Structure 1
Amino acid sequence: MVVVLKKGATEKDIEAIEREIYKDAPDTGFDAKKYNGVISLKEDPMTIQTKLRNEWERDFS
């Protein structure tokens, strides 16, 4: 598909071009609620985060 946007196009022209380009795109966003509570942790999340962050500060000598 070729869309030509000429210099001096009005906002109405630009909106018409955008509608033509995105007419087949899905309108749904990311549903984060679907993943809520999926991972069951055996440890406190703050403890896990602290361990991961301290991983870079280990003494390997």
Structure 2
Amino acid sequence: MVTVIKKGTDKTQIQKALESVSVLMGINAFAYCGKVKLEKEPLAMQKNLRHWWE
């Protein structure tokens, strides 16, 4: 399932979209918002993974 959130969407509409996904999937999407702790910059990690692949 894909949920598209366009630029300029207000917070209440985003919360409704996330709630509808969590109801369908049986998960609490709000529990994971902003919880990822990265040790490196995301772009550096991506470049490293792509370099490894070749």
TM-score range, shorter chain: 0.3 to 0.5
TM-score with structure 1 setting the length: 0.38
Larger helix fraction of residues: 2
